[in-house]
Amino acid sequence: MTEGRGTGSRALRGAAAAALGVAVLVTAGPGLAQPAAADPAAPARPAASDARKVMELGTGWRFLFGDVPDSVRTPEFDDSRWEQVSLPHSWNRMGNYAPVRAEGSDVRQGTGWYRMRLGEVALPRGKRAILQFDGVGAIADLWVNGQHVGQHKGAFSRFRFDISDHLKPGQANIIVVRADNSKPEKGSSTEHVIPLGGDFFIHGGLYRGVSLIEVDAASIDLMDHGGPGIYVSTPSVTPEKAEVAVLTRLRNSGQKARKLAVVTRIADADGRTVASASGPARRLGPGETSELTTPLSLTNPRLWQGRSDPYLYSVTVELRDGARVIDSVTEPLGVRSFAWDADQGFILNGKPMRLHGASRHQDWQGKGWALTAEDHATDMAIMAEMGVNTVRHAHYQHAQEWSDLADRNGMVVKAELPFVHQSAFDESLPAPELVANARQQLLELIRQNYNHPSIMLWSVGNEIDIGAAIAALMKGGKGAPAKSRDMLVELNALAKQEDSTRPTLYADCCEGTPSPLARPGAQVLNDITDVVGLNRYFGWYYGQPQDLSRALTSLRSRYPDRPMAVTEYGAGGAFSQHTDNPLGGPVNANGRPHPEEFQAWVHEQNWKVLKQANFLSTSWIWNMFDFASTSREEGEAYDLNDKGLVSYDRKTRKDAFYFYKAQWSEEPVLHLTGRRYIDRAYPVLDVRAYSNAPRASLTVNGQAIGTVDCPDRICVWPGVRLRAGDNQIAASAERGGKALTDSLTWTAPDSANGLHVRAGHLTGQTTSAGLRFGSDNFFTGGKASELRMAGRTRIAPSNVTGTTDPELYASYRQGAFTYDLPLPDGRWTVTLHLFEPETDAAKAAARSMTVRANGKPVLTGFNPAKAGGGSLKAVTHRFDVTSSGGLKLDFSGGDGGAVVSAISVSPAR
């Protein structure tokens, strides 16, 4: 569908095409070509440079959150009692692995004030002072020496102010910044600033860097929506030659006309000039802007080949006044062509490439958004370790340091506009001010990131109708759908106008799925952008994982000519919550618990579908890392979305991480799962490992269990028996001549004490008498009960009476089913925990259960309501049985089926 990189604007593209004699721009990125000889006609570099100077303003700031007097803006204000802070800085901290919000969390939204004394700024004659902010959450106002310089709305993009005329020579200069991350709502300061909502928190503060740039009054344009001022494209790329177009925008902020020349050079990764060109001097009047396009070419270019060879050239543009270099900018160049195709998926440099990766949010535990370069590097290293070859920037513009890492690591990137969740606070059309802000942020996104070869998609929206759908759901299904389509159409057109060479994408939440958020009469949004993006959570929020295949096929038939991507899928996973069988019961996706094993199972099943959908261009896991989302009380966490494959502090990888590492990484992998489920409920279990070796062997306490094949990179040793107490589990394999080992320790109960199974539930329970039940396991058939919700996230307490342990009766398995309990040979007492869940008297009276133990009837024509004295009354039934080779319990019950809440097997007395 689309090749190469665009040039930043229609005028830019036209100029480039005219200069190169081509009609269509094809993006090429950094590539290592056989180095071409430098142009002998290129002018020699001048001996001296008077280019721009940059001073980082990372220290010396004072900070206060909350209301302040108007005098705070003036130089005389006393801020000596304010907190001393360094940048990057945010006042927000949230997200912890506990059922309540941690002490020290800071979820305040409002205004934070920053002050800095610059001291005496000796601005040379003919120079300008530009103050650059790399990111402020979410509205920034700037005062210099008491004068308001300007305002910027949007939490994620870089912006600059020319403060030259506000500085006072020979005296201290005071900078005051107000950062405002007020909650978006009607009447608030952020009412018309995207995003209006979403499953992430807008951190307040100067959370990225601030710098002071001293530059000549005539310069490469610093005021072009925060962009670099030079925009590099590759209109044509072949193995033999790459055509390069460099558009340069100039600005003269001085009081007199200047005669200026531009020299452009391409250097290889070793810094050697491989192409250069210079243009004649041109006049630039005071207050004028201008742009020019310089054509260059590379012979035998070395291509940017993604993860296998992310080779980068660099492009440097020098602005000269006579022999003097008065400004200079260097940007990356990745020489590559690419396309998104409806049938072949993603194509890089003429070859189809299946992309698989994850989304990434930019916050860390204890730091929020205030990340260092080292933090970004850690995130990239973890993603590369897992074998990711594409990254989704969720759901906003990420730091330049991060995108630089993506360039150097060969990641294919989808960069996103923060048009998320909703376009209005009610059922009205988006406000014109909101649309204008979205347009501004989209321009900033594209201009500032245009030169990154890794970026190959612009996302112009994500689930923009889901806010209205959730609101309607909370009102019992009442409420009109969102009216977001026109805004999305306008933004898509703007993205295409700015950069026609990169395709656009919209990430849809609901069309064609069984989600309760699919609203009747909802506007169709998937036919607007070039690529259809699908956020689908089969097996988590709705449906079963295998439903994903049917949904993808249906949507492909609806949009056969559009490339398709799965932009989100996944499940939550807790480190301290576990299940013995992920099929044992329903998960409370919006609450607790979130067993780690269930998360891994959802990913196993979803990936089985995704890897077979050959028409998909890419898929992105949601999410790479746990991230902050206020008021979530899920899994084991608070204020966290726990769908990450890695912990919020980046220290612990979940089992699902190793599943994908085994699927995607070239590094040999062998990982035993369930290592955090140390204290086991059962002495018999299936041992599982993820490995990209063809087969693996297992020992338990030094005894060989056997060697198994690892189909789909999953190795399973079924029915492994553990001894009472600690057990040493060790796996071994070989891949590519490398020996692999992994080991862990599990503590098991004594099998001589029997088994206790909690039916229909993903997790176990310890009763008031201290008897431990494991989660539902060892079953075949039947259906687990649905969760009874007290609210959106909270499970209602058990309504079964007549027991000191009502929660043991909070779930059940129903229908015709069998339990094969792996008991040692011997004499056992079986206790069935039963109740009648049906409150309709006629249906309750009609139930007639039969239970057979090893083929012999032990319960016939049993009616739980009659035995318990009514529905929702706990009742138990006991019987003795002799086991030989285990115990098989068969449950049946006619139309209503059998019902059991728990099975307890203890030694007979």
- The set of catalytic residues is 463
Alpha-carbon gap, residue 517 to 471, rounded angstroms: 10
Cα–Cα distance, 502 to 683 (Å, whole number): 56
Side chain identity, residue 612 = Q
Q: How many Cα atoms occupy the beta-carbon half-sphere of 674 within 13 Å? A: 24
Nearest Cα neighbor of 143 from 121, 123, 122, 166 is 166
Structure tokens that stand for 68 in this block: 């302040």
The rounded distance, in Å, linking the Cα atoms of 360 and 671 is 24
In angstroms, how far apart are the furthest CA atoms of the chain? 105
CA distance 404 to 452: 7
Three-state SS across 619-668? Answer: EEECCCECEEEEEEEECCEEEEECCCCECCCCCCECHHHHHHHHHHCCCC
| 631: exposed, middle or buried (Cβ count in 10 Å: 0-12, 13-18, 19+) | exposed
H/E element, 178: strand 173-180
Preceding amide of 864 cis, omega within 30: no
CB 227 within 8 A of CB 447: yes
- Going by the DSSP 8-state scheme, the letter that residue 420 receives in this structure is B
Which residues are CB-contacts of 495 (< 8 A; sequence separation ≥ 6)? 442, 446, 458, 460, 502, 504
Q: What number of other Cβ atoms are within 10 A of residue 135's Cβ?
A: 28
Cβ neighbours of 307 (radius 10 Å):
16
Between strands 412-416 and 390-393, the pairing is parallel
Strand pairing report for 390-393 and 355-360? parallel
Measured distance CA(471)–CA(468) in Å, rounded: 5
Q: 667 is written with which tokens? A: 């590094």
∠ CA(138), CA(141), CA(145), 5° rounding?
A: 150
Nearest alpha-carbon partner for 859 in 884, 815, 893, 819: 893
Cα separation, 620 vs 111, whole angstroms: 35
Whether the CB-CB separation of 491 and 445 falls below 8 Å is answered with no
Beta strands in 43-110 (DSSP E): 53-56, 61-65, 83-85
Say how far apart CA 650 and CA 97 lie, in whole Å.
13
166-170-175 Cα angle (round to 5): 40
State whether residue 836 is helix, strand or coil: coil
Amino acid present at 827: R
* Among 455, 565, 433, 440, residue whose Cα is nearest residue 499: 455
- Helix or strand or coil: residue 468? helix
- β-bridge pairing 616-621 and 564-568: parallel
DSSP three-state, residue 810: coil
For 49, other C-beta atoms within 10 Å of its C-beta total: 14
**Nearest residue to 97 (alpha-carbon basis) of 596, 569, 584:** 596
d(CA 320, CA 330): 15
